[in-house]
Amino acid sequence: MDADPVTATVHIDAPPERVWDYFTKPGMLVRWMGEYAVLEPEPGGQFTVNVQGAPVRGRFLRLDPPRLLLISWGYAGSDRLPPGASTVEIRLTPDGTGTRVDLEHRQLPAEEKSGHGVGWVHYLARLAAAATGEAGPDPGMRQLPPLGAERAPGRHRSR
């Protein structure tokens, strides 16, 4: 059973055309979300971002620039919310001289009483990094190593 969607709204004092780029260009996305991103802003293209060590994996499902973005959202290695399991819809609506951003995160699984929250995804991601010897003695969240077989920030995968 699905939980209620998570919604969030913000007004930004900039036109939708400018806000759009902060969702579709990796260098601009990581300035407000995550440390590492690979984005292919076309239908079916990958939406990859590591947020505080949690490996968010999804795809761009629909792009209607600069008004609507639909992205699938899951976590690599997660049973609760694997890649493709949920969708995030972002609507950019002109609002005066700025933009209203309406975000809706849907198809989230209903919570179990003592279920594995995303915190455990973070935790297991850190353990996985530690197990491969990549974790230093006191890695800050900004210095987390790339997870798994991923490449350096900003580069596309070769396949």
Partner 1 sequence: MSTMDTVTEAAFHALAEPHRRDILRLLRDRPQSVSEIAGQFDITQQAVSLHLKVLRDAGLVAVRPQGRHRVYAVRQEGLAGLRDFLAEFWPDSLQRLKRVVEADDGR
Helix (H) or strand (E) holding 21: helix 16-24
Nearest distance from C-beta of residue 159 to partner 1, angstroms? 30
Contacting residues toward partner 1, per CB under 8 A: 3-4, 6-14, 18-19, 22, 31-33, 51-53, 80-81, 101, 103, 105, 108-109, 111, 114-120, 122-123, 126-127, 130, 135, 137-141
Question: Looking at beta carbons only, is 114 or 158 nearer to partner 1?
Answer: 114
Residues 74, 58: contact at Cβ < 8 Å? yes
Nearest distance from C-beta of residue 60 to partner 1, angstroms? 18
CA torsion, ordered 107, 47, 100, 2, to nearest 10 deg: 0
CA torsion, ordered 7, 25, 154, 140, to nearest 10 deg: -40
Nearest distance from C-beta of residue 72 to partner 1, angstroms? 14
Nearest distance from C-beta of residue 39 to partner 1, angstroms? 15
Question: Looking at beta carbons only, is 134 or 157 nearer to partner 1?
Answer: 134
Residues 82, 58: contact at Cβ < 8 Å? no
